[in-house]
Amino acid sequence: MSANLETNKSFITLHGIGKTFQTSGTSVPIFENLDLTIQKGEFVAVMGPSGSGKSTLLNLLAGLDGPDTGEIWIAGQRLDHMGEAARSAWRAHHLGIVFQFYNLLPMLTAEENVELPLLLKPIPASMRRERVEKILDLVGLAGRGRQNPARMSGGQQQRVGIARAIVSDPTLLLCDEPTGDLDRASADEVLTMLGYLNRELGKTIVMVTHDPEAAEVAGRTLHLDKGVFIERERVMA
Ligand code: ADP
Ligand code: MG
- For 12-235, which CATH class? alpha beta
Residue nearest (by alpha carbon) to ligand 1 atom 15: 51
* Nearest to 169, CA basis, from 102, 96, 119: 96
User: At 149, is the pLDDT very low, low, confident or very high (cuts 50, 70, 90)?
Assistant: very high
- CA dihedral sign of residues 101, 65, 56, 24: negative
Q: Is the CB of 54 under 6 A from ligand 1?
A: yes
Q: In the chain, pLDDT over 90 holds for what percent of residues?
A: 88
pLDDT at 8 over 70: no
Q: Is the CB of 101 under 6 A from ligand 1?
A: no
Beta bridge partners of 97: 174
pLDDT at 104 over 70: yes
Separation of CA 24 and ligand 2 centre (Å): 21
Tens of pLDDT, residues 19-78: 999 999 999 999 999 999 999 999 999 999 999 999 999 999 999 999 999 999 999 999
Q: Give the contacts of 182 (CB within 8 A, at least 6 positions apart).
A: 154, 155, 158, 190
User: At 120, is the pLDDT very low, low, confident or very high (cuts 50, 70, 90)?
Assistant: confident
Average pLDDT, the chain: 93
Separation of CA 237 and ligand 1 centre (Å): 37
pLDDT of residue 29: 93
Domain boundaries, the chain: 12-235
Q: Is the CB of 23 under 6 A from ligand 1?
A: yes
Strand order across the 204-208 sheet: 95-98, 172-176, 204-208, 43-47, 220-225, 228-233
Tens of pLDDT, residues 193-236: 999 999 999 999 999 999 999 989 999 999 998 887 887 655 55
Mean pLDDT of 131-152: 97
Q: CA geometry: angle at 32 spanning 27 and 37, to 5°? A: 140
Q: What 3-state class would DSSP assign to 7?
A: helix
Q: Is the CB of 168 under 6 A from ligand 1?
A: no
Locate the ligand 1 atom nearest the alpha carbon of residue 53 and give its number: 6
